[in-house]
Amino acid sequence: MLRSFSAALLCAAALSAAPCDLIVSARYLVTMDARRQVIDNGAIAIKDSRIVAIGARAAIDRNWQPKRRIDRPNAIITPGLVNTHTHAAMSLFRGIADDLKLQDWLNNFIFPAEAKNVTPDFVRWGTRLAALEMLLSGTTTFTDMYYFEDVVAETAKEAGIRGVLGETIIGFPVADAKTPAAALAFTEKYLQRFKNDPLIVPAIAPHALYTNSDETLKASRALANKYNAPILIHLSETKKENDDNQAKRKQTPTQTLNSLGLFKGRTVAAHCVWTDAADQNLLKLGNVGVAHCPSSNMKLASGAAPVVDMLKRGIAVGLGTDGPAGSNNDFDMLEEVDLAAKLQKLVRGDPEALPARQSFELATIGGARALGLDREIGSLEVGKRADLIALSIDGPNAVPLFDVYSQIVYALKGSNVIDVVVNGREVVRDRRAVTLDQAAIIAKAREYGLSVAASVKQKH
């Protein structure tokens, strides 16, 4: 009698629960919302591409009736990681030439390798390889600067990964455009094709101040603003870049870009290692997002970006891996989070600098702000896109657990990622890619490796 009474109650509860597509639950939900709430034994209800409820698991289960569910009692769920700067298809050049001076690396290895190898097919497979590595290690949004960006966008949609994807504009002939004017024409078609896409934010990526004419930079800004597209650009990566611009114009690169009007519209600037206080004020005034790339800046000996200073000034700072051909050489965002925290401590001589939670902010809500997407992604909140990852805390590197942020930043690895949801779609489940054919991608990458190696001078 008691049993059937309970069953009737449960049935009534189920009947009164609202339908949704997916419920995910975990031991901890690290929301990264404005209050930085961490919910013990929490759950998230997802409908279509968005979060419709978040809270204690018992309440979510009472109120929502999902088609599918993912329950992870030994995991932490966080917002998906946001990579604010990379060159995904360069995965096929991974480690082709390391431990070299920047100009030697670019002029004698990378540019020749690109001239001989970059085609739409190369970009498609390179982006597939990158997307596979990114998704499996917890990245749900990547920001790209490369060639044939329409192919990158097609591939990102196929993989189910979110992308802010910038077509490169550069002052010499490249694989997809003979001139900057041709590149701008190509880009306009690309912007038109992918506007309003739920996964893709098409963007324009003038490579840098020092590789483009002022006219091209102004034309890029005008085109970007016509479509409300962001501009992605490298800025003050090396001391040489600053010194050269001072010699030529008696200005910092940031001052020059500002005076050209480049910041009058959505802009994401990668690196900003050599920005001073005045530069940072210009970035803040221009609402420019900064992509901090600690691995790349260390590996290329560029320096250490003044991240703590930029954050104090209210600049939106995200993290990026940079490309895997010499500057990293992987897409592992949890390594960048760890390294960002350690690098600021080192260069400031202060172990309290950029503590774990703040470093994790850079990889989530901070990166979303830097991309101008913080109303859509970067935290787990009702109304936002359902971009999230589950990190196992059931491995030897994950116990005991005293503080979730500390564990995520200093102890957990990309290999601890077990599930990934992007835009409400499960794209990794139980550490396996759902959307991509891993065996085919690895086989093709090896094939490209052989042809790339045969085509260019190698260091060894």
Residues 257-296 that bind a copy of itself (CB under 8 A): 295
* CB 410, min distance to a copy of itself, A: 4
Pairing state of beta strands 162-169 and 200-206? Answer: parallel
Q: Give the residue with the Cβ less far from a copy of itself, 100 or 434.
A: 100
Distances (CA, A) of 324 to 49, 87, 134: 30, 8, 12
* CA gap 79, 377 in Å, rounded: 8
The interface with a copy of itself within residues 110-149 (CB under 8 A) comprises 129, 132-133, 136-137
Q: Residues in contact with a copy of itself, total (CB under 8 A)?
A: 74
Asked if residue 355 binds a copy of itself (CB under 8 A), the reply is yes
Among 106, 222, 304, 308, binds a copy of itself (CB under 8 A): 304
SS3 assignment, position 201: strand
Asked if 103 contacts 435 with a C-beta cutoff of 8 angstroms, the reply is: no
Q: Give the residue with the Cβ less far from a copy of itself, 181 or 443.
A: 443
The interface with a copy of itself within residues 392-421 (CB under 8 A) comprises 394-397, 399-403, 406-407, 410-411, 413-415
Tokens standing for residue 71: 């329950």
* CA gap 47, 91 in Å, rounded: 34
Q: Give the residue with the Cβ less far from a copy of itself, 284 or 342.
A: 342
Q: Give the residue with the Cβ less far from a copy of itself, 163 or 414.
A: 414
- For 197-233, b where at least 16 C-beta lie within 10 A, e where not — what string? eebbbbbbbbbbbbbbeeebbebbbebbeebebbbbb
Q: Give the residue with the Cβ less far from a copy of itself, 136 or 151.
A: 136
Q: Give the residue with the Cβ less far from a copy of itself, 335 or 426.
A: 335
Q: Give the residue with the Cβ less far from a copy of itself, 222 or 346.
A: 346
* CB 130, min distance to a copy of itself, A: 8
- For 98-115, b where at least 16 C-beta lie within 10 A, e where not — what string? eeeebeebeebbbeebbe
**C-alpha distance across the termini of the chain, in Å:** 79
CB under 8 Å to 2, separation ≥6 — which residues?
Answer: none
* CB 211, min distance to a copy of itself, A: 20
Q: Pick the piece of the chain touching a copy of itself (CB under 8 A) from 11-19, 82-90, 194-202, 297-305.
A: 297-305
Tokens standing for residue 278: 């005045």
Question: Per the omega criterion (within 30 degrees of 0), is the bond before 400 cis?
Answer: yes
Q: Give the residue with the Cβ less far from a copy of itself, 288 or 422.
A: 422
φ, ψ of residue 418 to 5 degrees: the values are -110, -35
* CB 423, min distance to a copy of itself, A: 21
Among 298, 308, 313, 381, binds a copy of itself (CB under 8 A): 298
Among 10, 14, 453, 457, binds a copy of itself (CB under 8 A): 453
Asked if residue 441 binds a copy of itself (CB under 8 A), the reply is yes
> Residue type for 302, please?
S
Q: Give the residue with the Cβ less far from a copy of itself, 352 or 383.
A: 352
Sequence length of the chain is 460
* CB 208, min distance to a copy of itself, A: 18
Q: At what angle do helices 149-159 and 180-194 cross, to 10 degrees?
A: 30
Residue 352, Cβ density class (10 Å: 0-12 exposed, 13-18 middle, ≥19 buried): exposed
Question: Which H/E stretch holds residue 274?
Answer: none
SS3 content of the chain, % helix, strand, coil (to 5): 45, 25, 30
SS3 assignment, position 372: coil
Distances (CA, A) of 409 to 202, 219, 301, 355, 414: 30, 41, 23, 9, 11
Asked if 252 contacts 276 with a C-beta cutoff of 8 angstroms, the reply is: yes
Asked if residue 307 binds a copy of itself (CB under 8 A), the reply is no
Q: Give the residue with the Cβ less far from a copy of itself, 238 or 254.
A: 238
Annotate each residue in 311-350 with x if it binds a copy of itself (CB under 8 A) or - if it does not, as one string. -------------x---xxxxx--x---x-xxx-xx-xxx
The interface with a copy of itself within residues 60-119 (CB under 8 A) comprises 92, 94-102, 105
Closest CA relative to residue 372, chosen from 313, 290, 294: 290
Closest CA relative to residue 436, chosen from 197, 77, 88, 161: 161
Annotate each residue in 185-224 with x if it binds a copy of itself (CB under 8 A) or - if it does not, as one string. ----------------------------------------
* CB 325, min distance to a copy of itself, A: 10
Q: Give the residue with the Cβ less far from a copy of itself, 382 or 399.
A: 399
Q: Give the residue with the Cβ less far from a copy of itself, 14 or 301.
A: 301
